[in-house]
Structure 1
């Protein structure tokens, strides 16, 4: 069972990162954190790694609703979207499947929220 939704995207790595951030904003998400995995591994481990960014995306209204229904949900937030270079050099954008993620809470109050987020992530990927 897959825990992400992904799409190969045409363009340079940096361009795809910017387009992904813009598409997330269009769907009401802010990027709370932007982790440059390649730079971190180079600095902390002196290791080379492919271009790889983790974008911590959050829609404040949906996060509020989710935390109202399940206070421990914060351990699963923000929702991560990754942009990376595949082995063949293509750029891939991959978003966590919020229905899979929230499913571990076994709280039906979160179902409509996770469905909403899933739809928004689908539109983000379609926009790329």
Structure 2
């Protein structure tokens, strides 16, 4: 059985989807843009957007009763792969070993013309 997970500490869904869905002991987040949940504004750089995106992910993961250490897989979507090093530096500050598995891909465009979007899979319990 699936259950939606929601928090006001992350941006509200901008379409017909949940911030996250829990199935058994797994949590799947929707992609989180680097948008401030209060102002709905984006920071200027990819690194700043990555930090906000991961703060949004953290809020959702914590709303499900877990922590960033429970994340087992991440996917990072970048508008420009030239931002990889700067985003990677921010990303590393949110995790400790053993790091989650990760994919990072450059995409043609992200919602709201964001520079970064990050989604995660979390093992709960």
Q: Do Structure 1 and Structure 2 share a fold, with TM-score over 0.5?
A: no
More helix by share: 1
Query: Larger Rg: 1 or 2?
Result: 1
TM-score normalised over the length of structure 2: 0.30
